[in-house]
Amino acid sequence: MAKERCAVIGVGQTKYQSTRGDVSIAGLVREAALRALADAALEWDDIDAIVIGKAPDFFEGVMMPEIVLGEALGGVGKPVLRVHTAGSVGGSTAIVASTLVESGIHARVLALGFEKQSESNAMWALSLPQAFQTSINAGAGGYFAPIIRRYMAMSAAPELVGCLVAFKDRQHALANPYAHLHQPDLTFDQVVESPMLWDPIRYSETCPSSDGACAVVLASEAAAAVAPNPVAWIDATAMRSEANNFGGRNMVNPAASSMCVADLYAKAGITEPRREIDVVEMYVPFSWYEPMWLESLGFAEKGEGWRLVEDGTTRLGGALPVNTSGGVLSSNPIGASGMVRFAEAALQVRGMAGEHQVDGATRALGHAYGGGAQYFAMWIVSAAA
Amino acid sequence: MIDVAVVAYAARQQPVFDENEIEMMAPVIEDVRVATGLGPDDLDFTCSGSSDFLAGAAFSFVMTVDATRPVPPIVESHVEMDGAWALYEAWVKLQLGEAKTALIYGYGKSSPGSLRDVLATQLDPYAAGPLKADAFGIAGLQARYMLDAGDVTEARMAEIAARSMASAESNPLSIRKGTRRVEELLAEPYLHDPLRAHDVPARADGGAAVILATREVAERVCERPAWVRGIDHRMDIHHLGARDPRRAPSAAIAAQALAVTADKIDVAELDAPFTHQEALLATELGLDSEATTINPSGGSLCGHVMMGAGLTRIGEAAARIHRGEADRAVAHATSGPWLQQNLVAVMEG
Amino acid sequence: MTDDPLAPVAPPVQLPPRLQGVEAVQSVRTPFRLEYHASSGQHMAAFLRAMKQKQILGERCPTTGQVFVPPRGVTPTSGLETTELVELPDTGYVESFCITRVPIPGRDDLELPYVSAWVVLDGASVGFIGLVAGIPADEVRLGLRVKAVWRPDEELRETADNIHHWAPTGEADVRIASYELIGAPGRPPAERQVRA
Amino acid sequence: MPDEGVLHADVTLEYPFTRSTGPVVGAFLTALREGFVVGIERPDGTVLVPPCEYDPATAAPLTEVVEVGDAGVVTSWCWNGEPRKGQPFDAPYAWALIRLDGADTPLLHAVRASGPDALATGMRVRAVWRAEREGHICDIECFVPEAEGG
């Protein structure tokens, strides 16, 4: 049987903050889920299945927390799945949920990504002491800094491109009430003068650690037809994984990224992404990844991505706005961040992105990556059925 | 619904594997590739199940993906659940018509940690978790409810243990086996009154791998494919006080959705780590233990690989169809305290 | 969609008299401690024992011939178990590096900033992480030829930390053929034999 | 292949997790600090202990926090003959589910008694409160048979 069409009919997010001290873990995920249900004018019982995504369970010290949280999300008597694909998990969770609708098995599925990092701390949970490993643990920044150094050498990009991205996203965040970092007085010079942590990555060019949850309600064609608000149709989804260390691996533009986007565009019938895609919500935890992903995603030639940053193309109001929500650089609950990209892309084509709406956006790309730039999940959503 | 079959199954189980997870799982994954002749380039989708808590490492699944030869890149996903739910995600993917084959594996090396205590971190983090009630204590409370209500007797639990250990004799993977009389077992001291040693699972390191394929491939690579007629999974309440500990409604709903009892069932592989839980599940699924052979492999009682035991039950049931020993089989997987989340699959030869 | 995106979703809670006006608990400390008695696996054990003898072992991929270090028992380019360990020299070149100003938990002996680097050993196909020293941080560069500086013999244990750091050899830099690709590709990964 | 066997090493993962409670769990822990127990009313009038901010069966929000007793009936028990590291007591005790007076759902906790023979479903037990309390489930040190004096 042909695949069912699937649409996003509801989006819900929590206020992202370094510590959401006002809620329990169940309270955090219910905040996002209830807002998504309200957007779709649905109750808990209208949902047929739930897919929960989150990164390492060590963040909250609860093994398989979906066992405790299923009931908090109306999951009793229903299928509940838990996805964990590292940093891309928010995206892969939305994709797994869409397969439950596209296969015709369910009419309305709730997909939710979350992380409550303040229960422990990101440094501890991401660099747990491991037996038999060398103690030289580069951590995320130490892992990606050398890759960024290679892109800078390859593209001869001006040294402050990363700061331009960081400053842009923090300004975008001011127009997003949910964003973690709201820094109205931040100046570009402050971004440039911020201390260098993993050369060439400055503190200001890295993402914060946040508590947060993001939920989407996915629906079949019939269920979408009765949704109260505009919907976002899922044109295509794609996922790829590759090993992170082998001879001949392209570290700057990993094959898993280029193959994933090629598969995505083929399914969506996209041949000129720069012209056919109106807005991108891209997973950029370190600022230099914006120019790098612009190239890998086919929006710029090899070594030229930084020009789109420098000439303002990727600003709200530019020809190809990127991360008008403020992106990962402004909010990063790891288990939710991929879902936030997918959800913000949907909000754009539904015309519901509020202050950071890209006028007339009808087609958007949601993008997430994880691990050593080795796990990729992407979707294209559009306003037209 | 697109016809999909289990076309290969392999597993390893030992009390302790000294190898690391990838060394432990590589032979299992290679076995199902060799059995079907399907190499990494012929497998359209890969999905695995494991838990960081068992390995004591964040992203512990990343290392094991190397055994699927992810160079060049593959289409892969991972669930922080038993491999049985990874099989469900793969089965749905095949229903989309985009993929024709899927490699699924589930594994756990619990020997480095203490599984009973790791599972204590699965309870409500505010009121139950801090008491550090381990898995045997929690299961013992469920058994007490069933004993007090007469749903099961200590003798019936010993019968289930004796039958499982006898069946396990023919299963090279099982950890606990042997011929024991019920009276002998009942004479054993309590381990965790009301549970005795034979009532609790024989913990094991290891894992299982399965290949699913649609009809055109299945009929080429497997003599007697085990067709998945239906697969369904549900979740129950977590709150220990609000649940009915003598029931697993989620298992009953899944079984009814698949019309499990609409036809004869030759074999049922139930993921019941504790003896009283097999009795509970047999009731929820409506099984007639005269007509249906329950846990011919010895079940999870005789070899319990955390995160792999459910996928192993599916593999064991499918293997009996492959070997012509069964025409219709039911496999079940569970997760959470007191059988809180249950998956049921019906397969036919 | 309510117009206020941050409007609370949970209704207010009604407290019994004995709790009204009482300072409410907002958080609870639930200490977590799990002990693991980990085993290294066969191949990693061989690597760590060799390290104690100031020897570096890699593993050869059965299909592409690529050499991986440290050995983990299965190579990603074949998906098969390794059957051959390879002895590697303690010389190589810096493939990528990072000047780090963030302390490593448990290594307060390291003076900041330090240079963590991926060193491709002669004969290996992938980089091996370590520290570069004996050269000012801002002079470290891609292609720099380096040699291992081992800890004194009495300090050697079964650990890769036996290599205290990598120091420049003074030889000519290795030309980095491509800024995008890392390591040295072996035979194409696609061509593989199924184990009999 | 190498046959000298593997190496072993001990790794301890330890962290003092600080969990934010939210209003309902916060009320439960505040009451414990004050030396009493609260539950929460469900739409059908029954009282859930420990309280949740939602009805586990339907996910509907719950808001009516009510006081319950600190003594009650054992609805299930199992003997913990070899307590493990981190558990409430080193000496053997019973895990029990205890339906406190005024509550409709039992609470998990430890019951200290001479041995398994002193335990029986349906017996009454009462809470033993710690002198120093911080708002934690272990502010109740344990439960003991109500019949016991003192």
> Across residues A293-299, what is the average pLDDT?
98
From D17, D25, D59, residue closest to A119, measured CB to CB: D17
Q: Which of C34, C43, C75 to mutate to test the interface with B (most CBs of B within 10 A)?
A: C34
Mutate to test the interface with A, among D6, D11, D15 (most CBs of A within 10 A): D15
Give the minimum alpha-carbon distance from B148 to chain D in angstroms, rounded to a whole number.
8
For residue B188, what are its two tokens?
């054993």
Residue A18 has pLDDT above 90, yes or no: yes
* Beta strand segments in C40-138, E: 56-60, 67-68, 84-88, 91-100, 114-121, 127-132
- Give the span between the Cα atoms of C142 and D144, in whole angstroms: 70
C-alpha to C-alpha distance for A64 and B20, rounded to whole angstroms? 22
Radius of gyration of chain D (CA): 19
Weakest-pLDDT range from A177-191, C156-170, C174-188, D124-138: C174-188
Q: B192-211: per-residue pLDDT in tens?
A: 999 999 999 999 999 999 99
Domain harbouring B32, CATH code: 3.40.47.10
Rounded to a whole number of angstroms, the distance from the CA of C185 to the nearest CA of chain B is 12
- At residue C104, what is the residue type? I
Task: Assign D149 a pLDDT band (cuts: 50, 70, 90).
Answer: low
β-sheet bridge partners, residue A110 = A50, A217
Q: Residues of chain B whose pLDDT is less than 50?
A: none
Q: For residues D119-148, give the mean pLDDT.
A: 96
Q: Is residue B24 part of a domain?
A: yes
The size of the A-C interface in CB pairs under 8 A is: 155
Q: Where is pLDDT greater, at A224 or D85?
A: A224
CA C50 – CA C59 distance, rounded (Å): 13
Residue A44 has pLDDT above 50, yes or no: yes
Sign of CA dihedral B182, B183, B184, B189: positive
Whether the pLDDT of residue D148 is over 80: the answer is no
Chain centre to alpha carbon of residue B271: 5
Concatenated DSSP letters of A23-60: S-HHHHHHHHHHHHHHHTT--GGG--EEEEE-S-GGGT
Q: Nearest-5° angle of CA A189, CA A195, CA A199?
A: 110
- pLDDT on residue C187: 59
User: Which residues are within 8 A (CB) of C139 and not within 5 positions of it... i.e. 6 or more apart?
Assistant: none
Q: Specify if B64 maps to a domain.
A: yes
Q: What are phi and psi of A303, to 5 degrees?
A: 80, 0
CB B93 within 8 A of CB B45: yes
ipTM: 0.96
Burial class from Cβ neighbours inside 10 Å (0-12, 13-18, 19+) for residue A358 reads buried
pTM higher than 0.95: yes
Collect all residues with Cβ–Cβ distance below 8 Å to B23 and sequence separation of at least 6. C41, C42, C43, C72, C73, C74, C81
pLDDT at residue C2 tops 60: no
* Token representation of residue D54: 């939602």
Mean pLDDT, residues A189-215 taken together: 96
Domain region containing B99: 4-112+203-221
> What residue in A sits closest to C76 (Cα-Cα)?
A243
Token reading at A245 = 């260390």
| C47/chain B closest Cα distance in angstroms | 14
Cβ atoms of C147 and C91 closer than 8 Å:
yes
* Partners of residue C38 on adjacent β-strands: D9
Domain-wise residue ranges, chain C: 42-168
Exposure string for A191-207, b = 16+ CB within 10 A, e = fewer? bbebebbbbbbbebbbb
Q: How far is A261 from A266, CA to CA, in rounded Å?
A: 8
Confidence of residue A218 (pLDDT cuts 50, 70, 90): very high
pLDDT above 80: residue D1: no
pLDDT, mean of residues D95-117: 98
Quote the mean pLDDT of chain A.
95
CA-CA distances (angstroms) from residue A51 to A9, A101, B236?
Answer: 16, 12, 15
Q: How far is CA C114 from CA A205, B168, C155, in A?
A: 20, 57, 22
Substitution target in A24, A63, A121, A127 with the highest count of D β-carbons within 10 Å is A24
How far apart CA B213 and CA B86 sit, in angstroms, is 15
Contact between C44 and A133 under an 8 Å Cβ cutoff? The reply is: no
Average pLDDT over residues C17-33: 94
Q: Answer yes or no: do A71 and B239 touch at CB < 8 A.
A: yes
Highest mean pLDDT among B102-111, C1-10, D1-10: B102-111
Does the residue B244 lie in any domain? no
Separation between Cα atoms, residue B279 and residue A94, nearest integer Å: 37
Nearest chain A Cα distance for residue D7, angstroms:
9
The pLDDT value recorded for residue C192 is 43
Considering only CB atoms, C194 lies closest to which of B33, B113, B129, namely B33
Assess if residue B89 is contained within a domain.
yes
d(CA B180, CA B275): 15
Q: What is the pLDDT of residue C1?
A: 47
pLDDT for res C196: 38
Strand pairing partners for D72?
D100, D125
Subunits with at least 3 CB pairs below 8 A relative to chain D?
A, B, C
Average pLDDT over residues A174-203: 96
Mean pLDDT of chain D: 95
Residue C134 — left, alpha, or beta (φ > 0 → left; ψ -120 to 50 → alpha)?
left
Q: What pLDDT does A339 receive?
A: 98
Residue A92: list chain B partners with CB under 8 A.
77
Give yes or no for D6 touching A (CB within 8 A). no
List the one residue out of C176, C98, C100 whose CA is nearest residue C142.
C176
- Domains of chain A in start order, with CATH, are 6-122+209-225 (3.40.47.10)
Segment A220-264, tens digit of pLDDT: 999 999 999 999 999 999 999 999 999 999 999 999 999 999 999
Q: Is A266 helix (H, G, I), strand (E, B) or coil?
A: helix
φ, ψ of residue A133 in degrees (nearest 5): -95, 150
- Split at pLDDT 50, 70, 90, the class of C194 is very low
Q: What pLDDT is recorded for position C180?
A: 87
CB contact (8 A) between residue D15 and residue A124: yes
* Any domain includes B98: yes
Q: State the DSSP H helix or E strand holding residue D20, giving kind and residue range, or none if neither.
A: strand D8-20
Counting beta carbons within 10 angstroms of the beta carbon of residue C87, is it exposed (0 to 12), middle (13 to 18) or buried (19 or more)?
exposed
User: CB contact, 8 Å: C41 with chain D?
Assistant: yes
B178–chain C Cβ distance below 8 A for any pair = no
pLDDT, tens only, D18-77: 999 999 999 999 999 999 999 999 999 999 999 999 999 999 999 999 999 999 999 999
Q: CA-to-CA distance for A122 and C104, rounded, in angstroms? A: 14
Residue type, B347: M
Tell whether C2 is within 8 A of chain D (Cβ).
Answer: no
Cβ contact C38–B130 (<8 Å): no
**Pick from C30, C41, C73: which is nearest to B129 by CB?**
C30
Total domain count, chain B: 1
Task: Indicate whether B169 belongs to any domain.
Answer: no
> How high is the pLDDT of residue C191?
43
